[in-house]
Amino acid sequence: MSRRDALLDMLRAIVNRYPRAGSESQERLRAHLETLGRDLGGAGGTALDTAWDAFCREAFGHPCWVAFLLPESCAALPDLLPTLARLANRWAAPQGLHGAFDTTFEEWIAAQSDIRSTGSLGELLLRELASADPGSTHFLFLSRYYTFLDLLGAVMLRPAALPLLRRVFTQLHLQHSQWSHSYCQGYVYQGWERIGIAGIKPTEQRLALYDIDNLLGTGRRILDVGSNCGFLALELARCGHRVDGIELNPWLVGIANEVRGALDLTQAHFFVEDFQSFLPAEPYDAVFCLANHATIDGHSGLDFEHFTAKLFALLKPGGLLFFESHNVFGPGAGGPGDDGDLDRKLALAGRYFETLRHRMTPAFVPFHDVDKLFVILRRRERPVITATAPFDLAEARQHYAYDR
Ligand SMILES: C[S@@+](CC[C@H](N)C(=O)[O-])C[C@H]1O[C@@H](n2cnc3c(N)ncnc32)[C@H](O)[C@@H]1O
């Protein structure tokens, strides 16, 4: 088998390994590889060589990518990231040494790009992502897999988006070493096809499943609690809403602001804030509180009743609360992420909110995540004394569509 055939086979195997329903980026990447494959002896083959060369220069030439794509190699070779950092800054070498650094870099990249050389970073990456068993590495494997797709998509299909993608991953790389509670092994929790990031929870597909446009209307003033890297808030701003995102993790707010600036989405604003002490100047028309009422990072200390009382205070009367659960299949015993008692929790919330509708939404990753319950609530005019559970949780868990 020729080198090109082998490369194309591996890339195809990776892209097709975990197909994500509704992902335009993944489908475009798949179609692009098929197109190249139809003319591998001619222009398609040349384009494939050029793309692989560009991928390797980017992937192995910047510490942020290497750290995500090859975490085990970084751990096994402690010199790898510092050496790369030195090569990435070779322009700063003393006079007379620039040329030496450039030659080293060229040679090093050429060696790592050689997919026939067992143990080169390129060969290792392709082989592992195409066929290795993720075993118990869960999100670590997924974080490598989706980082690879994000970067390959940028190199092959949208080179103009590459600088922004690199800035996002540089922030993530910094976050990983400097923030002790990052999610998804430091990879992006929220995806956004618009900028070519798959994420663990893709924003466009997520909002489509929520199916809230009619209820939300237009030009609303919205708060997103725990806005993460801001992609959901930015998508809402793109649709014409004015959105404030509050998020405790400054690295994620940094990403939100990078992307906001790059896309000129000035209707969105992001603040490093703790939800528990956040006091806005005026209440909102709608609040998004997605996977946030209790967090595995241990940064939310409010019990559910106080949490919902605070949400009540943040909303105008009649304002909408969009709520996403954690694990509604849990035992309901109060463990981290256990929402097996969500019906009891929502009975408490019933003092402040009436439940309008609910639906299950499927997990977007192939393993290590569960389907979530999405609930739409409306703020009461004033709290009521008692309220009952709005639904039977066992039934709600079966309910993947709204009753119209
Ligand atoms: C499970 S993630 C959910 C992110 C986002 N709401 C979504 O569903 O896409 C929880 C997020 O809340 C943030 N967070 C945790 N405690 C917080 C707090 N007390 N105030 C603000 N944000 C917080 C975390 O940093 C993280 O980004």
Write the DSSP assignment of 96-132 as a string of letters. T-HHHHHHHHHHHHHHHH-TTSTT-HHHHHHHHHHH-
Q: For residue 295, what pLDDT is reported?
A: 64
- As given in the structure block, the two tokens for residue 242 are 């004015």
- As given in the structure block, the two tokens for residue 266 are 């000035």
Residue among 289, 297, 290, 292 at smallest CA distance from 379: 289
- Give the Cβ contact number of residue 241 at 10 Å: 20
Q: Residue 205 Cα, ligand 1 centroid: separation in angstroms?
A: 20
Q: Which residues contact 339 (CB under 8 A, 6 or more apart)?
A: 325, 326, 327, 328, 330, 332, 345, 373
Q: For residue 215, what pLDDT is reported?
A: 95
Q: For residue 24, what pLDDT is reported?
A: 95
User: Which protein residues are within 6 Å of ligand 1, measured from CB?
Assistant: 183, 189-190, 201, 226, 228, 232, 246-249, 252, 274-276, 290-292, 295, 297, 299-300, 324
- As given in the structure block, the two tokens for residue 252 are 């994620």
DSSP reduced 3-state for 287: strand
C-alpha separations of 75 from 66, 70, 72, 81 in Å: 11, 9, 5, 10
Give CA 392 to chain center in angstroms.
31
Q: Residue 329 Cα, ligand 1 centroid: separation in angstroms?
A: 21
Give CA 187 to chain center in angstroms.
7
Q: For residue 298, what pLDDT is reported?
A: 63
Question: How confident is the chain (404 residues) per 10-residue block, as mean pLDDT?
Answer: 95 97 95 98 97 97 94 92 86 83 89 95 97 87 97 98 97 90 87 97 97 96 98 98 97 97 98 95 97 72 88 98 96 91 94 96 92 98 89 95 75
**Contact between 286 and 236 (Cβ < 8 Å):** no
- How many Å apart are CA 161 and CA 194, to the nearest integer? 10
Alpha helix (H) residue ranges in 118-265: 121-131, 139-157, 162-178, 203-210, 213-216, 231-238, 250-263
**Contact between 347 and 363 (Cβ < 8 Å):** no
Q: For residue 102, what pLDDT is reported?
A: 84
For residue 286, what are the β-bridge partners? 222, 320
Domain ranges in the chain are: 3-157, 201-396
- Length in residues, the chain: 404
DSSP letter for 188, please: -
Residue among 326, 321, 342 at smallest CA distance from 395: 342
Q: Taking phi first (over 0 means left), then psi (-120 to 50 degrees means alpha), and beta for anything else, what does residue 228 get?
A: left
Identity of residue 322: F
Q: For residue 387, what pLDDT is reported?
A: 74
Pocket probe mutation, ligand 1, options 201, 224, 247, max atoms within 8 Å of Cβ: 247
Q: For residue 233, what pLDDT is reported?
A: 98
Helix axis angle, 43-61 relative to 24-37, nearest 10°? Answer: 130
CA-278 nearest atom, ligand 1? 20
Q: Residue 377 Cα, ligand 1 centroid: separation in angstroms?
A: 20
Helix (H) or strand (E) holding 383: none
Q: For residue 335, what pLDDT is reported?
A: 86
Q: Residue 346 Cα, ligand 1 centroid: separation in angstroms?
A: 20
Q: For residue 392, what pLDDT is reported?
A: 94
Q: Atom 8, ligand 1: which residue's CA is nearest?
A: 290
Q: For residue 299, what pLDDT is reported?
A: 65
- As given in the structure block, the two tokens for residue 276 are 């528990």
Q: Atom 14, ligand 1: which residue's CA is nearest?
A: 226
CA-274 nearest atom, ligand 1? 20
Q: Residue 1 Cα, ligand 1 centroid: separation in angstroms?
A: 48
Q: For residue 404, what pLDDT is reported?
A: 57
Q: Residue 344 Cα, ligand 1 centroid: separation in angstroms?
A: 22
DSSP letter for 276, please: G
CA-224 nearest atom, ligand 1? 6
DSSP letter for 203, please: H
CA-275 nearest atom, ligand 1? 20
Q: For residue 395, what pLDDT is reported?
A: 95
Q: Residue 228 Cα, ligand 1 centroid: separation in angstroms?
A: 6
DSSP reduced 3-state for 290: strand
CA-289 nearest atom, ligand 1? 6
Helix (H) or strand (E) holding 349: helix 342-349
Considering the domain delimited by 201-396, tell me its CATH architecture. 3-Layer(aba) Sandwich (3.40)
Q: For residue 127, what pLDDT is reported?
A: 97
Q: Which residues contact 192 (CB under 8 A, 6 or more apart)?
A: 199, 202, 203, 204, 231, 234, 235, 259
